[in-house]
Amino acid sequence: MARDGLSPHDDEAVALTRRLLAQVRRLEIRARHLAEDLFAGSYRSVFKGSGIEFAEVRRYSPGDPIGDIDWNVTARTGYPHVKEHVDERELTVLLVVDASGSVDYGSIDRRKQDVAAEVAGLLAFSAIRNNDKVGLVMFADQVDMYIPPEKGRQQGLRVIREMLHHRPRGSGTDIAEALEFVGRVLTRRAIVFLISDFHDEGFLRELSVAARRHDLIAVRLIDPRERDLPAAGLVELVDAEDGTHLLLDTVSEDFRRRLAADLAVQREEQGREMTRRDVDLIELPTDGSAVDPLVRFFDLRRRRLR
């Protein structure tokens, strides 16, 4: 029954808004907690700024590069002096998130979209905690939304809210178009997290271009049923992106084995192509922790930088 002059439709809208706000709040609390406790040093140690800035001039010490000598100060003081520089700390983090039909899927208790939102929230608040800018691109078969990078908690909340609330205009996947869009809107080097299940083809050229310009990290969402199809008899599958219907006999162990092998080969080929292009890859199963793969990624990258 409607309350205070509100129609049933208005009541539904109010209830939906309250549920969304509660969901945003829960995700914000978890993301901020993890960003502060787990990633406090990891995030800062593995990502460098987009350049260097001048810090000070000091007297020359044996072993200092000759190219760092400040000849003007040296001539004025009569002693060799060198310029010191530090990394420009402020970073720009852009979350490029797949919202296509295949991401709006989950065979257990979580959709790929839910895991993507959790990871995006964690990365957003890790950036904000370090006073970096964070922005968001949502795409399916076209770019649906762009939130330019900004700082601050409100920006993090906006990213989470839009991630949870967004409904794409299309259902297909066009990773190439999303990466081309990133190339147009980012004028300086940034950290780009591309979050997708990568059920797409023909994006390797754009991936190469983006990886040369930015620090590009691919986060691949994987549902357990994509690794191990259960024996459930005759199953009719509907492609979430193009609506195609397919009838499968999942009783056949040979069929299930071949299907799993084909998907594994596809993922391995994508992984090799990403490695060739200096793109880091994080595997993110929806039936496990969304945090552990990120922790492993930070640890591996930190060791590699040493």
Q: How many helices (H) and strands (E) does the chain have?
A: 9, 10
Band the pLDDT of 1: cuts 50, 70, 90. Answer: very low
pTM greater than 0.85 (yes/no): no
| Residue found under tokens 């979430």 | 240
As a whole number, mean pLDDT of residues 205-217 equals 96
Q: What is the pLDDT of residues 20-52, one digit of tens each?
A: 566 667 767 777 767 666 565 667 677 765 545
The secondary structure of the chain in percent helix, strand, coil, rounded to multiples of 5, reads 45, 20, 30
pLDDT at 295: 83
Q: What is the pLDDT of residues 80-93, one digit of tens each?
A: 888 765 455 578 99
- Greatest C-alpha distance within the chain: 88
Q: How far apart are CA 132 and CA 124, in angstroms?
A: 9
Band the pLDDT of 198: cuts 50, 70, 90. Answer: very high
pLDDT at 92: 94
Phi/psi of residue 139, each to 5°? -145, 155
> Smallest Cα–Cα separation from 173: which of 112, 252, 227?
112
Domains and CATH numbers, the chain: 53-86 (no CATH), 90-305 (3.40.50.410)
pLDDT at 304: 80
Lowest mean pLDDT among 51-60, 65-74, 126-135, 203-212: 51-60
**Dihedral over Cα of 296, 284, 107, 266: its sign:** negative
- How far from 243 is each of 102, 237, 238, 277, 301, CA to CA, in Å? 11, 9, 6, 33, 40
**In 160-195, which positions are buried (b, 16+ CB within 10 angstroms) versus exposed (e)?**
bbbbbebebeebbbbbbbbbbbbeeebeebbbbbbb
